[in-house]
Amino acid sequence: MQLFCFFVFREFENRFDKSFSVSDKLVDYKSNLTIPYQAITILQNEKGFETIKNNVDYLDAQLENWKLANIEIQRKNDELEVYFKYSDSCGKPIRYDARHHYLSEKAFGLQRSEYGRITYNGRLGLQIVNLFNAHSHDKAVLTKRSPTKEYKQLEVLY
């Protein structure tokens, strides 16, 4: 069973953490029918940083492919192949490939027990997706170490 954490930052500043301790619902989860993931939305306002959403949702474990915002995850045996796929929901600036199609590329593959992070931005904020290809009972699994693999799709915002 995998552990996925999805973070959305609005009005993000680089001094904010890119990973957090995971929810008890994720570390205590014992079903093979679904894969839990944590979605956190953090807003920066006049009060500072405020968590406006911190939910645990579930993906169907019987599927081989999942989509979380602009990230597509494909399970191939024990490996996860992770792709960045630009869409209008990502926000501007638009990312194109060499053929002037919306950018769609493999970010990385994660072997068992590897930890990866995808970071991308748009006008509405910064998106961070942390993926751990195993189950862990350690709530600090994403904060104790740096990602094994990392992909960034960051554009200069004017």
**CB-CB contact of 80 with 68 (8 Å):** no
In tens, the pLDDT along 123-147 reads: 777 788 888 887 777 777 777 888 8
pLDDT at 158: 66
Contact present, 130 and 119 (Cβ < 8 Å):
no
The answer to whether the bond into 93 is cis (omega within 30° of 0) is yes
Q: Which comes out higher in pLDDT, residue 106 or 20?
A: 106
pLDDT at site 26: 67
Residue 35 has pLDDT above 60, yes or no: yes
| Mean pLDDT estimate for the chain | 79
The pLDDT assigned to 19 comes to 67
CA distances from 9 to 48, 49, 76, 108 (A): 12, 9, 30, 22
Higher pLDDT pick, 54 / 12? 54
Domain boundaries, the chain: 3-62+110-153
Q: How far apart are CA 95 and CA 85, in angstroms?
A: 9
Distance separating alpha carbons of residues 134 and 111, to the nearest angstrom: 9
Q: Is the pLDDT of residue 12 over 50?
A: no
pLDDT of residue 151: 95
Which own/partner contact pairs does 125-128 have at CB distance under 8 Å and 24+ positions apart? 125/8, 125/9, 125/10, 125/11, 125/12, 125/91, 126/8, 126/9, 126/12, 127/6, 127/7, 127/8, 127/9, 127/69, 127/70, 127/90, 128/6, 128/7, 128/8, 128/9, 128/18, 128/19
**72 pLDDT above the threshold of 60:** yes
Query: Do the Cβ atoms of 139 and 114 come closer than 8 Å?
Result: no
Q: What is the tens place of the pLDDT at every residue in 79-132?
A: 999 999 998 888 888 999 999 999 999 999 999 888 888 888 877 777 888 888
